[in-house]
Amino acid sequence: MSAKQLPLFPSDGEALLTRRSPLVDAIAPFQHYLRQEGRSPHTISAFSSDLRLVMEFFGDATPLSHFTTPNLNRFLDWMEQGRGIPCSRKTYARRVTTLKVFFAYLKASSVLQVDPAAALLQRSGAAPLQPILSEDEIQRLLAHTTSLRVAEKPDARPDLLLRLLLDTGIKKSETMALTREHIDRTNPDHPLLVVRHRKPNDVYRERKIELDPDWLAVLEEYLEQYTPKEEIFDCTARNLEYVLGDVAEAAGVDAKVSFEILRWTCMVRDYQRGMESDTLREKMGLSRISWRETGDKVARLAALQELDRG
């Protein structure tokens, strides 16, 4: 759901949020937006804490229309140098991100006509790019997981998991929720993974991701070996993290192999194969606002990987 479709009312149903609304009135709708976007409770808590700091500096009754790029830079200068409390590069970067996400949300929701945070700079330095796997590392991992399927005691789970994450880039929580019903085999030559999220109003938001037809054969091997009752991966997420770690060690891959790294690796590979930006954004289940930063990082990672190959 885009920001424009979100209700811009506080939780108690007060007046419509407008450019004249006080800053404090925008917090609850923004938190609702973050939950709708699938942000973690930790992220929502961190963003809310950052906005409380903004209210501490400007005052919680400050109208939303008061915020300009110079005013926000004045706040960042105070936070970094005048507050008297150390502010690490990581914390500074997150607070700039909070401002960018918050004001982009207000602009996308037509509360503000101009985004005052769009021009803010990460003066303390941008956070490092997410590490991803090289093609050589991917092939070594796949060679090992394939060998496990034909070992004396066959085990299809590592291959099933690795190929799924490399091809779809789904999140850990989405992986753990998968059931057989999420696999659409209507066209065996073009199977689909249907990823669903239950909203507070019990309406499903879903996206469909193409699967490699060969993955279905691995799935059948796995189902015969593990016979899960409901969820396909009927173990803990921690167990699957151990599976990925063990595969990396056995394959001689020094890089960490995790759900997050495989998600980013998937995005970069799709980008390099020419997938359209909006198609990739939708595949990852990201909003247009979230994709601004993510898409830029994907492009930078792809460029760096091309340089390494050259």
pLDDT, residue 288, reads 84
pTM for the model: 0.64
- Which residue has 């759901």 as its token pair? 1
Rounded to whole angstroms, the Cα distance separating 239 from 242 reads 5
Per-residue pLDDT band at 198 (split at 50, 70, 90) = low
Question: Which residues lie across from 208 on neighbouring strands?
Answer: 194
Q: Which amino acid is at 260?
A: E
Angle between helices 288-309 and 89-108 (to 10 degrees): 130
Rounded to whole angstroms, the Cα distance separating 232 from 181 reads 10
Q: What is the mean pLDDT of residues 75-82?
A: 85
Q: What is the mean pLDDT of residues 273-285?
A: 94
pLDDT tens per residue, range 80-130: 777 777 777 778 888 999 999 999 999 999 999 999 999 998 754 555 678
For residue 173, pLDDT over 80 is answered with: yes
Task: Confirm if 253 and 139 have CB atoms less than 8 A apart.
Answer: no
Q: What is the mean pLDDT of residues 207-216?
A: 95
Q: Which amino acid is at 176?
A: M
pLDDT, residue 85, reads 78
Domains, in order of start, for the chain = 3-108 (1.10.150.130), 135-309 (1.10.443.10)
Q: Which of 53-67, 194-208, 210-224, 226-240 has the lowest mean pLDDT?
A: 194-208
